[in-house]
Amino acid sequence: MSLEDGDPLRPRGQQLSAVPRLMEMRDPSLRTPGGSGTDAMAAVGDKDVTPGGASQREWQPEEALMAELAELVKEVVKSSSWWERHGVDISILACSILLLPAGFLCLRSAQAVPFLAGVLTLGVVHHTLTVKGSHLASHNALTESKSWGKVWAVFFIELCSAFTVEQATYNHVKLHHGYTNVIGLGDSSTWKLPFLNRYVYMFIAPLAVPILTPLVALDLLRNVEWKAALRTLCCMFLGFYCHYWLLLHVSGFQSPWSALLCMLLTRSLLAHPYIHVNIFQHIGLPMFAADRKPKRIHLMSLGVLNLPRNPLLDWSFGHSLISCHVEHHLFPSLSDNMCLKHHGGALVDIYEKLPVPFGLVRFGVAPDHPEVKNVIHSFTQTARSERCAYYGNVTVGRDVTVPELQRAYHAVVLSYGAEDNRVLGIPGENLPGVYSARAFVGWYNGLPENQDLKPDLSCETALILGHGNVALDIARILLSPLQLLRKTDITDSSLAALACSKVKRVWLVGRRGPLQVAFTIKELREMINLPGTRAVLDPADFTGLESAVKDAPRPRKRLTELMIKTALEKPAEVQAAAAAGAAAAGAAAAGAAAPREWGLKFQRSPQEVLPSADGRRPRGVRMALTRLEGSGDSARAVPTGDVEELECGLVLSSIGYRSLPLDPAVPFDSRRGVIPNSSGRVQGVPGLYCSGWVKRGPTGVIITTMNDSFDTAQSVLEDLQGGVLDVSLSREGFGLVESILHSRGVRPVSFSDWEKIDAAEVARGKAAGKPREKIVDPAEMLQIIGH
Ligand code: NAP
């Protein structure tokens, strides 16, 4: 059972006479139960996780949840065979031991390949026995017998790993797990020397693990009873000596030094992946927090968030999944295999309008934010699951209706986002040269429907209406040096258009003040640091804000402080020139250093887009000056009666997105642009759910949307448990949909089809040094897969 992929609240094979079939549209991020698992972990984070421990106190909802979870885990354990509970892991360990003779014999060879195969075999075996074996033994997860548990612990921890059983168990299960659950037992962090250079920590120190481990153990033995200490010493000595003896007498090493070197090599062979997996598995622990040193570890923990599962790591280290490790912390006596045991019930089919998946991540996330797109690895992992199928090239509401889907599946989740944009409703909004941010983003990101946009970039000044992150994304793309964009997955045609762009000044105009901007600090910082550009902020806009923001929430405070700092800061060249009394020369020098500029304008609400004399483009926007009524986030912009004309030749309206209804059978709140729902349950339509922007409106980043989908998934699970979803009769799922699609001449695209398109895009991009060259024509995509 896995909290990542499985259902933590419903044991495998729960009283379902039919497999529940779920379908989801557009957002492949839905991992039905994953969120609930993570939530469960987070919820118990600061509590005593033992249900019984709560008896003297008020029974908290988290503890009730934990008790329920423990009960369900007990049922899963009860319904699992010995093979599942212990057999699989014991077999892996046994196979590893059986591989030892082969490993030692390979080292006899004078030829490189068998010799290296021997090193590799012994390295993997060593790590399997010392990491997987010791870990399971310290949890007593290899057997249900306490005395056998002790034998295994001595064998794996003392003989194989040269450590002490008592301290390993205490440090790992009591201290480390206690620390995870923040019950105040202390810091079990292995990173005791934060002053060390991060490279030493990450790349050199791991090589010394085989030497450091016994030294640390010897030190710890001072706190252990003498008989146990004696046993540990004997076992450690025996372990080392056997290894050394076998290298001399079986592998035929001639000198003690070469044997010792080989011992060190095999014992530290997988030390690096081990350190990395270890960090990966413990993401979220305070010891890997952003403010702890070495910072590199925190960054790494973020970097590996989307790593796919790896069989070698699963074999050697128990598993490479973070959530399974979380289960170890909650239920230490579960074996690795039990932690990996999946809930095999639900089948999920994903339908998507375009042939290619990943919606917003592919077509919305800015091309120069590749790290955000890493989430595609998680989506891919989900889509490749045998319980998940992807059907692209199917427009729900046209090729198949929602009621038809409801006939085919036990539950239907609508998780499409916001395909449309808000409109200003002012004169001139539809003039040539006025574009919605949505269309502009779609254009440079290769969204097929926006490829004909061909924006006119022949003017010097662009005006972006709105102070959100999309506005900053667009400003950055317009002003970025081409060499930065060339390395991204921006489409070739937009790159060519940007290469001819004359735009060198971008104003971002908001109707409210600096305390109400909707963008976030990371995006603002990127803009400030954009090479070849300079920020033009008017210090007068920020007068008195430093004290006004003192008590504001931290993100707002930091964001405002950054704007104030930028407004007051003069470029180095200007300062130098000013000091020399040559302001004009200084300004010229700054201009030369930063050929492009951008700025924020506040308290201006667009009234009309003014056409140029020939009507072929805007010449400016008339703005109503505003004053703020109220304070903080809820302040309202009220026109003062004064107006101002801002000159520009390009207008981009970035005032937010809007979802659209997709089927008349689905209720829709046209005013708010959302499907009316409660916790994702579509109002008045049992069995129909929604998630993402269509559920809560077009705000929030990917992680917000993921959490939101976990909430919807939780509702689906609750309805399954509560009998709201009738799963007593099986549903045909895709079988039924396929015949409907066939009758309408629609051919869906599978995930492996997408992988062919993906490979073609990556190959095209490679030639130009880009991660991919997106194919922007659906007909060409279909041609590649032979449709
Ligand atoms: P947004 O964050 O809602 O910002 C919309 C902006 O338009 C606000 O400044 C808003 O001002 C203004 N606005 C709305 N109606 C207006 C009107 N009638 N006249 C003048 N101004 C108007 O929307 P967004 O920028 O499209 O972003 C959507 C979501 O995606 C956001 O949650 C955003 O954070 C997220 N996103 C994140 C990233 C990233 O993480 N890098 C990138 C892109 C998007 P008021 O506040 O006065 O209404």
Q: For the chain, which residues score pLDDT lower than 70?
A: 1-69, 171-198, 201, 276, 278-309, 319-332, 339-345, 570-593
Query: Rounded to the nearest 5°, which phi and psi values hold at 736?
Result: -70, -45
The β-bridge partners of 435 are 652
Q: Which residue has the tokens 């997988």?
A: 270
DSSP letters, 420-433, are EE-----TTTTSTT
Q: Return the structure tokens found at 675.
A: 């499907």
For residue 632 the two structure tokens come to 């903080």
At residue 500, φ and ψ (nearest 5 deg) are -95, 0
Q: Note whether 246 and 169 are within 8 A (CB).
A: no
Name which of 781, 666, 681, 783 is nearest 722 in CA terms. 681
* Single-letter amino acid, residue 147: S
Residue 319, pLDDT score: 64
Sort 113 into a burial class: Cβ within 10 Å, 0-12 / 13-18 / 19+. exposed
- What integer pLDDT is reported at residue 288 of this predicted model? 52
For 389-429, the pLDDT digits (tens) are: 999 999 999 999 999 999 999 999 999 999 999 999 999 99
Q: How many angstroms separate the CA atoms of 492 and 446, rounded?
A: 9
Ligand 1 center–CA 438 separation, angstroms: 11
Q: Quick one: which H or E segment has residue 435?
A: strand 434-436
State the sign of the Cα–Cα–Cα–Cα dihedral 751, 757, 760, 764. negative
Sheet of 411-414, strand order: 388-391, 347-351, 21-25, 411-414, 688-690, 681-682, 677-678
Tell me the C-alpha to C-alpha distance, in Å, between residue 125 and each of 92, 156, 190, 253, 266.
Answer: 10, 12, 23, 20, 9
Give 243-297 as a DSSP string.
HHHHHHHTS---SHHHHHHHHHHHHHTTHHHHHHHHHHHTTTSGGG-TTSSSHHH
Pocket probe for ligand 1: among 422, 509, 511, the residue whose CB has the most ligand atoms within 8 Å is 511
Whether the model pTM is above 0.75: no
Instruction: Please tell me if the CB atom of residue 506 comes closer than 6 angstroms to any atom of ligand 1.
Output: no
For the residues of 627-649, what is the DSSP string, one character each?
A: EEES-GGG-EEEEEEEEEEEE-S
Q: Are 390 and 352 in contact (CB under 8 A)?
A: yes
Q: How far is the CA of 222 from the centre of ligand 1 (A)?
A: 61
Q: Whose CA is nearest to atom 18 of ligand 1?
A: 424
pLDDT of amino acid 283: 54
The edge-to-edge listing of strands for the beta sheet with 618-629 is 604-611, 618-629, 636-647
Q: How far is the CA of 263 from the centre of ligand 1 (A)?
A: 59
**Can you give the pLDDT at residue 710?**
80
φ and ψ of 548, to 5 deg: -65, -30
HSE at residue 499, side-chain half, CA atoms within 13 A, is 10
Token look-up 């492949």 returns 28
In this predicted structure, what is the pLDDT of residue 618?
A: 97
Cα 477 from Cα 525, distance rounded (Å): 15
pLDDT of res. 285: 53
Question: From CA 69, how far away is CA 345, in angstroms rounded?
Answer: 18
- Number of the ligand 1 atom closest to the C-alpha atom of 364: 43
Which SS3 state, helix, strand or coil, does residue 534 take? Answer: strand
Reported as a single tens digit per residue, the pLDDT across 441-467 is 999 999 999 999 999 999 999 999 999
Kindly give the distance from the C-alpha atom of residue 602 to the centroid of ligand 1, in angstroms, as a whole number: 14
Q: How far is the CA of 770 from the centre of ligand 1 (A)?
A: 29
Are residues 89 and 128 in contact, defined by beta-carbon separation less than 8 angstroms? no
pLDDT at 593: 62
Could you give the C-alpha distances from 141 to 90, 134, 138, 151, 161, in angstroms and in order?
10, 10, 8, 13, 17
Q: Cα 142 from chain centroid?
A: 33
114 preceded by cis ω (within 30°)? no
Tokens read off for 694: 């269509």
Determine the distance from the C-alpha atom of residue 137 to the mean position of all C-alpha atoms in its chain, rounded to a whole number. 32
From 424, 608, 628, 655, mutation site for ligand 1 pocket: most ligand atoms within 8 A of C-beta: 655
